[in-house]
Amino acid sequence: MHPVLQQGASIGIFTYEYSKKEHFFAENEKGEMFEIDEIVYHALMEADGTHSLCLEEDTIKYLKRQNLISTSRFVSEGNFKRRLILCFIGERVRRFRYPCRIINAMLPVVSLLFFISSLLIGKWIVWEIGDTNVLLYGIMYVGSVLFHEIGHLIVAVAYDYTISEMGLLFWGPLPIAAYVAQKEEWDDVERRHQIQITLAGIEMNLLIAGICFSLLRIGLQS
């Protein structure tokens, strides 16, 4: 995994008294501060896990020892809670901002219309869960969770927020949820954006459910 700035770590610029020259520092989660040079500072600014750092190997090892960067996908959240980072996203999805805006504008209406119409056109379809369907249900469950999180991601990108990573949350050895994380603090996000980012996962699930109901009805009719 490519290096990423350690959770709780920060970097900044300072000047000494009676001097205008800029100096650079890094601070880890424990509050320990280290003066770094400009090259390391700019490298840490770009340490989002999506690419390697243009630094000497010894420098990278030093930064890891000081708890400033991490290359582990497992991150402890305290007690039994951990998260597994599946992929880092960073700035590279900004190129898809305009398609995401189109999808975001259409998603609330299209998802509801598609879901409701798929139920009204056909009858309620119930099929029994047998041993042969366990794999199918597992795939459907994983797919619904994946598209749920993609819905959050699309809307956040549409509103020009930065998604840092996608992953799984664990309680001990058990996976309990998936997540997408954005760099901006939630309290700094506009209220209307908060609402749509939150609802986007449900809207995406309704859309996928509508598609599945329609495909199932077509399959039964044939």
How far, in Å, CA of 218 to CA of 150, rounded? 27
Pairing relation of β-strands 69-70 and 10-15? Answer: unpaired
Q: What is the DSSP letter of 125?
A: -
pLDDT of residue 108: 93
To which H or E segment does residue 91 belong?
A: none
CA distance readout (Å), 193 to 16, 155, 186? 41, 8, 10
* Mean pLDDT split into 10-residue runs, the chain, 222 residues: 85 87 92 92 88 89 91 77 85 89 94 85 53 67 88 94 89 87 85 94 91 73 60
pLDDT of residue 124: 52
Pairing relation of β-strands 10-15 and 4-5? Answer: unpaired
pLDDT of residue 133: 62
How far, in Å, CA of 40 to CA of 45, rounded? 9
pLDDT of residue 125: 53
pLDDT of residue 129: 46
DSSP states along 12-41: EEEE-TT---EEEEEE-TT--EEEE-HHHH
Let me know the angle formed at the C-alpha of 181 by 37 and 25, rounded to the nearest 5 degrees: 15
Residue 214 tokens read as: 């329609």
pLDDT of residue 47: 86
Q: Which amino acid is at 197?
A: I
